[in-house]
Amino acid sequence: MGLVSQDALNQLQALMDQVLLEEEPLQRTFQNVHQGCVTETLTRFLKAREWNATKAHKMIVDCLKWRVQNEIDNILSKPIIPTDLYRGIRDSQLIGLSGYSREGLPVFAIGVGLSTFDKASVHYYVQSHIQINEYRDRVILPSASKKHERPITTCVKILDMTGLKLSALNQIKLLTIISSIDDLNYPEKTNTYYIVNAPYIFSACWKVVKPLLQERTRRKVQVLQGCGRDELLKVRSWITRLCRISVEEKALDHQDIQGMEMKIVIPWIILSISSSTTTSRRNPESMKLLNPSSRDHSM
């Protein structure tokens, strides 16, 4: 870390110490954010604000207030109910943990092309997305850090475009909301986005989606040729056979098959956190998850 970066980190640490000392609710939720990796967390926010400690400080404080206001610390215990609604979301939002990179980073596979996002309102998909983020940050990453005896605070994502249609652009509202939430509250959590199985219409969709992403996010996107087997084998020592699993097949374990052509996701690992047995119900409108636009993206 360079001298300028270290100075910015020290300045941000001092600013945060003062805020957390004065506001206990922010202190509590910050513990769920950093999971013992304070330096790495502050560094992520500094990167998101080009090493400006003042702007990074505002970004973190806004993030913590958003978490407190929306009870994000408790979101993993809030089920998506009824069960049929949860199943509909699970089957139309294809995402799962497919393994780990050679460096120990979690690798998530996302079936972008076959995810329809048409079984529930935008709110429920946003809730599910945040639950996935929180499960990654509070369970998967700490577990990986413990296993490798070093901080692991980021992941890799494989975006499978198999089945992509122009109609996917109908979900641009949901994509905009999710992108905004991630930019403001979960910055710099993904090292690289690998796009595989991109059909000819991908370029048209990318022209629409690209302007919605922060420049720092766009720089992380790599479009691989075909299934990207050769490139992905540099990231991992094996490739998961990614295949869509029907309702009847979900009990079957996915297999790690060397050299198989990649198809589509998912081993249903992550979204099962939403099927909590708790019976409490919440009014979706009570969570202000869908209005991050009041916060400044450019600062």
Cis peptide bond prior to 82, omega within 30° of 0: yes
**Which pLDDT belongs to residue 250?**
35
To the nearest 10°, the Cα dihedral for 114, 120, 122, 125?
-60
C-beta of residue 68 within 8 angstroms of C-beta of residue 26: yes
Q: Which of 173, 168, 176, 78 is nearest to 127 (CA)?
A: 78
Which residue positions in the chain have pLDDT lower than 50?
A: 242-288, 290-294, 297-299
**Which pLDDT belongs to residue 235?**
87
CA distance 228 to 294: 39
**Which pLDDT belongs to residue 295?**
56
Helix (H, G, I), strand (E, B) or coil at 240: strand
pTM: 0.82
C-beta of residue 84 within 8 angstroms of C-beta of residue 245: no
CA distance 194 to 198: 11
**Which pLDDT belongs to residue 299?**
43
The secondary structure of 43-73 as a DSSP string is HHHHHHTTT-HHHHHHHHHHHHHHHHHTTGG
The dihedral of CA 119, 124, 126, 131: what is its sign? negative
CA distance 145 to 143: 5
Work out the end-to-end distance of the chain between its first and last CA atoms, rounded to an integer number of angstroms. 23
Which string of b and e fits 161-172 if b means at least 16 CB within 10 Å? bbbbeeebeebe
CA distance 71 to 111: 29
Task: Please list the residues that pair with 157 across neighbouring strands.
Answer: 108, 193
pLDDT tens string 256-278: 322 223 333 333 333 333 333 33
β-strand pairing of 106-111 with 95-100: antiparallel
Which residue spans within 152-296 are E strands per DSSP?
Answer: 155-160, 190-196, 221-223
Q: Backbone dihedral region of 228: left (phi > 0), alpha (psi from -120 to 50 degrees) or beta?
A: left
Write down the domain spans for the chain: 3-69, 79-274
Q: Which CATH number fits domain 79-274: 3.40.50.970, 3.50.50.60, 3.40.47.10, 3.40.525.10?
A: 3.40.525.10
C-beta of residue 185 within 8 angstroms of C-beta of residue 61: no
Class of domain 3-69: mainly alpha
**Which pLDDT belongs to residue 57?**
98
**Which pLDDT belongs to residue 173?**
92
Q: Kindly calculate the radius of gyration of the chain based on its CA atoms and give it in whole angstroms.
A: 19
